[in-house]
């Protein structure tokens, strides 16, 4: 049985094997390389959604004499190869504690020093709704520019204590809680690590109008740190940082 069909089998093998070589399968070869090259192509999204977490170095009106670290969470959706939208949350907190002395000169030229203690805390929780475009076209998908609107809940509190020359202690406390609306602008640079993982770098700015709602004292969030800031007041936060993004 084997000897009868063996010559036919060998003839078929040598006749048809060359047809399956790379030279005779240009379509299969080009398709294979095309799939590899377009895994992260802007015109062939495998994932429409992404989520990200990051830290940013921030300077804000709630930290006018210093800076802070802002934590951010992001969720985005690719509407088209050239347009995406994103919702994000940001939290920033600033704490300042001071211990000092004030001096009083008595009529007999005696100088008394009065210990003083003050603590100030300011914090904000902000949200952004941002639309992104790719200004340099599909060839430079790593760079995107966005703009949108923002909202911010902010709170600030200051406690002040001082011991008078009579030995009595004076105590003051101030508090304000506010909500304001505004706008944001952002510039992103994305570095792909794999098909589902990116590292992003972001420069962003948030600008807020005077608050639409105030509870407590009607003062600026940074008033305790820079008392020359008086209502009507505006707010702003400028930040630079990085985030880890997962595509799904």
| Residue extents of the structural domains in the chain | 1-37, 45-247
Distance, in Å, from the CA atom of 132 to the CA atom of 144, rounded to the nearest integer, reads 6
Is residue 216's pLDDT more than 80? yes
What is the per-residue pLDDT across 134-169, written as a single tens digit (0 to 9) for each?
A: 887 656 778 999 999 999 999 988 887 766 656 666
Distance, CA of 178 to CA of 144 (rounded, Å)? 32
* Sequence-distant (≥ 6) Cβ neighbours of residue 208 within 8 angstroms: 150, 152, 180, 181, 182, 234, 235, 236
Question: Are the CB atoms for 165 and 152 separated by under 8 Å?
Answer: no
Confidence of residue 19 (pLDDT cuts 50, 70, 90): very low
Residue 239's CB is within 10 A of a number of other CB atoms, namely 24
CATH topology of domain 45-247: Porin (2.40.160)
Per residue in 97-140, pLDDT (tens digit) is: 776 666 656 566 665 556 677 788 889 999 999 999 988 765 67
The label of the residue with tokens 């003839």 reads: 11
Question: Is residue 49 within a helix (H) or strand (E), and if so which, with residue range?
Answer: strand 49-60
End-to-end CA distance of the chain: 57
How would you classify residue 227: left for phi > 0, otherwise alpha for psi between -120 and 50, otherwise beta?
alpha
């Amino acid at each position: 049985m084997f000897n009868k069909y063996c010559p036919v089998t060998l003839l078929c093998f040598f006749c048809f094997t060359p047809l399956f070589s790379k030279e005779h399968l240009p379509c299969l070869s080009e398709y294979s390389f095309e799939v590899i090259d377009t895994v992260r192509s802007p015109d062939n999204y495998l994932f429409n959604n992404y989520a990200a977490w990051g830290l940013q170095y921030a300077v804000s009106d709630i930290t006018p004499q210093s800076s802070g670290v802002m934590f951010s969470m992001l969720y985005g959706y690719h509407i088209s190869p050239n347009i995406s939208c994103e919702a994000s949350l940001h939290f920033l907190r600033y704490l300042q504690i001071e211990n000092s002395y004030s001096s009083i000169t008595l009529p007999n030229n005696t100088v008394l020093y009065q210990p003083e203690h003050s603590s100030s805390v300011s914090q904000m929780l902000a949200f952004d709704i941002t639309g992104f475009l790719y200004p340099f076209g599909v060839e430079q998908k790593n760079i995107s520019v966005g703009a949108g609107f923002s909202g911010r809940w902010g709170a600030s509190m200051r406690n002040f204590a001082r011991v008078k020359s009579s030995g009595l202690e004076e105590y003051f406390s101030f508090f304000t809680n506010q909500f304001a609306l505004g706008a944001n602008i952002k510039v992103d640079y994305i570095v792909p690590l794999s098909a589902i993982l990116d590292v992003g770098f972001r420069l962003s700015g948030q600008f807020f109008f005077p608050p639409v709602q105030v509870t407590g004292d009607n003062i600026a969030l940074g008033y305790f740190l820079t008392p020359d800031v008086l209502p009507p007041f505006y707010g702003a936060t400028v930040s630079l940082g990085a985030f880890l993004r997962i595509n799904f």
